[in-house]
Structure 1
Amino acid sequence: MSTIERAEVFVASPGRNFVTLRITTSDGVTGLGDATLNGRELAVASYLRDHLVPLLIGRDPARIEDMWQYLYRGAYWRRGPVTMTAISAVDTALWDIKGKVAGLPVYQLLGGRSRDGVLVYGHASGTDVPSLLDDVARFRDLGYQAIRAQAAVPEIGGSYGVRKGAIYEPAAGSLPDEQPWSTEAYLNFAPGSLRAVRERFGFDFHLLHDVHHRLTPIEAARFGKEVEDCRLFWMEDPTPAENQDAFRLIRQHTTTPIATGEILNSIWDVQQLITEQLIDYVRTTVVHAGGITHLKRIFDLAALYHVRSGSHGATDLSPITLAAAVHLDLAIPNFGIQEYMAHADETMEVFRTNVHLEDGLLDTAEVPGLGVEYDEKAAERFPYDPRYLPVARRLDGSIHDW
């Protein structure tokens, strides 16, 4: 019987920080898992090295479900982003191994294709409305069928989701960047910016917008109602999701679809949101919600309640997570959309992937496992670079949700 012989944790910063787990079996088969938690990378690396890796050695890599239960239910301290990200890395690596042993892409092990490709959305942004419109035009020319639109709020000199360079990366600096925020200015500005996109480009593509937890439930209800004429594919994270009852208030006032869940880590975190149909898209992701095993469990629950998937997929998730997401997206019946951001050139020097984009759809080559390789030697050129995600402050100086 093949057993787990070695498990290695790599921390590198090719373009941005990533934590990668590589599991090797006694038969010499390797599997990769992503363990990146933006701004808290070393916490997960330590959890893996100090607590989980010793538990893996000598175990059967084929027993994926049992391993998941062992690492989750076998521990007294459960859930939370650090624990679930570490478990995700192990789970994803074991699926990679299983695919390689079987000689099949992982999506075949999940039941085979439910679709020919995975619809993604791009991230258009601008420092004002004209530059946002130019960026939307660029994504349209690139063949994207769905585009998220974010523009800086002029009264406060900035806003969430506005790209400063070729790639959007909010984590930076040895201490958090403290950014100004005004809900009033945002509510006065954002609906008009989305309306401007529709007026120029029409309705033959999907338009998305990320509120990024910035509004109270009644403010989010007002926003959703005001932009109904824009026919958004979704408004994302309209209010913090800790109080799931809050989404009921939003539902009562608007038919704008709601998406949330990228910072939620388990099926129990989204149970009420799904079973009471308080959202339309669940955005939990492979790397932060317990891996392929647990994310599929979430999506299976969601399918019973007409809730579709919309997994988080920013560049703080490594190409391993993107590949795992594509395999799962191809297989599940209730797929909605996949967030996609192209990684930096340095990232792709370390991670070699078979995922490819064409006409706004992602697909993967017919190779065993996840189809991702990790270049350890290349990673050594990019040492860990401590970074923080920003903090938002209202104009009166008090802390707001970022």
Structure 2
Amino acid sequence: MPKITAAKVIVTCPGRNFVTLKIETADGVTGVGDATLNGRELAVASYLTDHVIPCLIGRDAHRIEDIWQYLYRGAYWRRGPVTMSAIAAVDMALWDIKGKIAGLPVYQLLGGACRSGVMVYGHANGETIEDTIAAARDYVAQGYKAIRLQTGVPGMAGTYGVSKDKLFYEPADSDLPKETAWSTEKYMRVVPELFAAAREALGWDVHLLHDAHHRLTPIEAGRLGRDLEPWRPFWLEDATPAENQERFRLIRQHTTTPLAVGEVFNSVWDCKQLIEEQLIDYIRATVVHAGGITHLRRIASLADLYGVRTGCHGATDLSPVTMAAALHFDLSIPNFGVQEYMRHTAETDAVFPHAYSFAAGDLHPGDAPGLGVDIDEAAAARFPYRRAYLPVARREDGSMHDW
């Protein structure tokens, strides 16, 4: 029995904050898991340190399912982003340990590869449509087969998804939340123009995606989806807040544009109706926020029954530990769709050395035992935690809007 003898939480900020759990067994085998929750990192760090780690010591690291159930059912206060991110970190670390003991990459323990690589999409953005198209051309030149398009909205000082840095988009960039202005009407006018220009410039052999970032009502989302239909988007992401899953029925009635949602979901219960009623085409729940590999596989299995594919969140607020775990998951499931991929800074890559690699529009997790990623604790110590919040959005009349 590989008995858990120690565990600790490491908080580091190599350009942005990450929370990492490291578990060690009596034989000296270690595993790492990501516990990062954007803008609420220390809440998860405390949950792990004060409430979870004491319950892990002495347990059999091989009993992944039992430990998952213990942390989920035993806590009584179930679900929620803090709890599920903490459970996810434990789950990832235990899969990492199991793979190292077996001498196999995690995807082999999950049934082996279903594909040769994992198609990823990059983020092309710019202040103008022309800038976005230029960025998209760069991605095509790098071999990407799928690209997310975001552009500035004329008449607005800033727009979600548009960054001064073309390689790294990090919205959590201020000590207190920035307040940004929003106009749905202005936004709805520019997105169809963006897609028309992109198809003319890029052709039809590249998948084009767009993120509405929960900014629209269902009828507005239906209208935008219909307006985009001639340009065949791969998906319209996060069209409307999904706390009320029935809202997607109205969107479905008005457009055939594929719909993706779920990066803020924490469990299968957040998407059960969306999947069973086939109100979405892609589920975007991610390893770190939806309870780890163990629970995300349950979500994918349910989705597979209804023809829904995965499209896991993969922004820079997820560390390379989550990216590695996501790739093992993506490679092993039959209903994979696409994986978001935002490159990390050189400092982050140095703190988290990893085996995954990019080629011809695909990522592969590599064949190192376990997850194939680690944390350099000495390097991590050079980047202390720095408080950083996501922005908030207000309509032009000053009232709050979903960010």
Under a length normalisation based on structure 1, what TM-score does the superposition of the two structures give? 0.99
Task: For 1:103-252, list aligned pairs within 5 A.
Answer: 103-165=103-165, 166-252=167-253
Matched, 1:71 2:71: yes
Aligned AA for 2:191? A
Aligned AA for 1:214? R
Q: Secondary structure at the match of 1:374?
A: coil
Aligned AA for 2:51? H
Give the whole-Å Cα distance in 1 for the aligned partners of 2:107 and 2:183: 44
Question: Per-residue deviation at 1:173?
Answer: 1.2
Give the whole-Å Cα distance in 2 for the aligned partners of 1:167 and 1:335: 25
Give the whole-Å Cα distance in 1 for the aligned partners of 2:205 and 2:331: 24
Counterpart residue number, 2:374? 373
Question: Per-residue deviation at 1:131?
Answer: 0.6
Q: Secondary structure at the match of 1:138?
A: helix
Question: Per-residue deviation at 1:178?
Answer: 0.5
Aligned AA for 1:386? R
Give the conservation status (yes or no) of the 8 Å contact 1:310–1:335: yes
Query: 1:258-314 deviations in whole A, cap 9, x for unaligned?
Result: 000000000011100101000000000000000000000000000000000000000
Aligned AA for 2:250? L
Task: For 1:93-112, list aligned pairs within 5 A.
Answer: 93-112=93-112
Q: Secondary structure at the match of 1:119?
A: strand
Give the conservation status (yes or no) of the 8 Å contact 1:106–1:369: yes
Give the whole-Å Cα distance in 1 for the aligned partners of 2:367 and 2:152: 41
**Which runs of 5 or more structure 2 residues have no equivalent in the other structure?**
none
Question: Per-residue deviation at 1:144?
Answer: 0.3
Query: 1:141-196 deviations in whole A, cap 9, x for unaligned?
Result: 11100000000101112211012213100001111010110000001111111111
Give the whole-Å Cα distance in 1 for the aligned partners of 2:2 and 2:283: 36
Counterpart residue number, 1:57? 57
Counterpart residue number, 2:349? 348
Give the whole-Å Cα distance in 2 for the aligned partners of 1:342 and 1:358: 14
Give the whole-Å Cα distance in 2 for the aligned partners of 1:108 and 1:28: 23
Query: 1:291-341 deviations in whole A, cap 9, x for unaligned?
Result: 000000000000000000000000110000000000010000000000001
Deviates further, 362-371 or 116-125: 362-371
Counterpart residue number, 2:330? 329
Aligned AA for 1:173? S
**Which runs of 5 or more structure 1 residues have no equivalent in the other structure?**
none
Give the conservation status (yes or no) of the 8 Å contact 1:37–1:44: yes
Matched, 1:30 2:34: no
Query: 1:30-58 deviations in whole A, cap 9, x for unaligned?
Result: 00000000000000000000000000000
Aligned AA for 1:269? D
Matched, 1:305 2:299: no
Counterpart residue number, 1:258? 259
Give the conservation status (yes or no) of the 8 Å contact 1:210–1:235: yes
Give the whole-Å Cα distance in 2 for the aligned partners of 1:190 and 1:400: 19
Counterpart residue number, 1:4? 4
Query: 1:70-112 deviations in whole A, cap 9, x for unaligned?
Result: 0000111010000000000000000000000111000000000
Give the whole-Å Cα distance in 2 for the aligned partners of 1:197 and 1:331: 33
Aligned AA for 2:277? E
Q: Secondary structure at the match of 2:24?
A: strand
Q: Secondary structure at the match of 1:99?
A: helix
Q: Secondary structure at the match of 1:235?
A: strand
Q: Which runs of 4+ in 1 moved over 3 A?
A: none
Counterpart residue number, 2:277? 276
Give the conservation status (yes or no) of the 8 Å contact 1:181–1:395: yes
Counterpart residue number, 2:89? 89
Give the whole-Å Cα distance in 1 for the aligned partners of 2:239 and 2:374: 37
Under a length normalisation based on structure 2, what TM-score does the superposition of the two structures give? 0.99
Deviates further, 38-47 or 365-374: 365-374
Give the whole-Å Cα distance in 2 for the aligned partners of 1:345 and 1:259: 30
Q: Secondary structure at the match of 2:347?
A: helix
Matched, 1:80 2:80: yes
Deviates further, 166-175 or 77-86: 166-175
Q: Secondary structure at the match of 2:279?
A: coil
Identical aligned residues as a percent: 65
Give the conservation status (yes or no) of the 8 Å contact 1:173–1:388: yes
Q: Secondary structure at the match of 2:264?
A: coil
Query: 1:214-272 deviations in whole A, cap 9, x for unaligned?
Result: 00000000000010001000000000011110000000110000000000000011100
Q: Secondary structure at the match of 2:374?
A: strand
CA RMSD of aligned residues (A): 0.6
Q: Secondary structure at the match of 1:96?
A: helix
Q: Secondary structure at the match of 1:311?
A: coil
Aligned AA for 2:26? S
Residues matched between the structures, number: 402
Give the whole-Å Cα distance in 2 for the aligned partners of 1:259 and 1:26: 43
Aligned AA for 1:182? S
Q: Secondary structure at the match of 1:131?
A: helix
Aligned AA for 1:388? Y
Q: Secondary structure at the match of 1:33?
A: strand
Give the conservation status (yes or no) of the 8 Å contact 1:15–1:345: no
Matched, 1:387 2:378: no
Give the whole-Å Cα distance in 1 for the aligned partners of 2:84 and 2:365: 26
Give the whole-Å Cα distance in 2 for the aligned partners of 1:53 and 1:96: 17
